[in-house]
Amino acid sequence: MNRRWLLAAPLGIAAAAGAGFYAMLARMNEGRFDPRGVPSALLDKPAPVTSLPALDGHQGWTDADLRKGGAPLLVNFFASWCVPCVIEHPQLMTLSRQGVRILGVAYRDKPADSARFLAQRGNPFAGVVSDAEGRASLEWGLYGVPETYLLDGAARVRWRMAGPVTEEILADQLQPLLRRIA
């Protein structure tokens, strides 16, 4: 057996592991990789039946709106107390200006606070409902806010982002997916 090769092997493995670790940290920094992320159990399954009251003073949405078919749509869970939601908000506004239908769910938030959040920062939602007790959100497999679900024309969940949709995630993941399934 070649002794030099034996000596180089551990060094090679360490170097490869270091490079992999560096790449992972870089991706975490850019928000492209979340080591705590849990994959959605709903992927490729139909969106759960959702029937929630409209957020006070706003246009709501019904379960039928989820299943109308046609263009893909986004379901976004947010709360006024949620700091990452503020980071995400400009991206939702961009999508809304592009004509993407976004249905909002205010998760465990006082309706007046959710309404103030939307009045101050703009309302990207075609409809927004209130899940004040968080029961309906559990049906979606939600474990925090913000979370965003992409539904295709058949109301199947095609993509889920747990955490803010950053500019990078919008450009790298969501926009290409929207183009592909549109």
Partner 1 sequence: MSADPAEQLPDPAQEERAQSIGRELRCLVCEGQSIEDSNSLFAADMRRAVRERIAAGDSDSQIMTWVTARYGDMVRLRPPFSAGTALLWASPVLFAAAGLGAALLLRRRRATVAPLTATERARIEALRKG
Tokens describing residue 49: 């039946």
Listed ranges 89-97, 121-129, 137-145, 172-180: which one lies at the site for partner 1 (CB under 8 A): 137-145
What Å distances lie between residue 98 and 34, 91, 92, 130, CA to CA?
27, 11, 10, 25
The correct pick among 61, 140, 149, 159 for binding partner 1 (CB under 8 A) is 140
Indicate whether 135 belongs to the interface with partner 1 (CB under 8 A).
yes
Indicate whether 9 belongs to the interface with partner 1 (CB under 8 A).
no
Nearest approach, Cβ of 171 to partner 1 (angstroms)? 27
- Alpha helix positions (H), the chain: 3-29, 63-66, 83-97, 111-121, 135-139, 167-169, 175-181
Smallest CA-to-CA distance from 78 within 9, 20, 163, 12 is with 163
Indicate whether 141 belongs to the interface with partner 1 (CB under 8 A).
yes
Indicate whether 110 belongs to the interface with partner 1 (CB under 8 A).
no
Indicate whether 13 belongs to the interface with partner 1 (CB under 8 A).
no
Contact positions vs partner 1 (CB under 8 A)? 1, 38-42, 48, 108, 134-135, 137-144
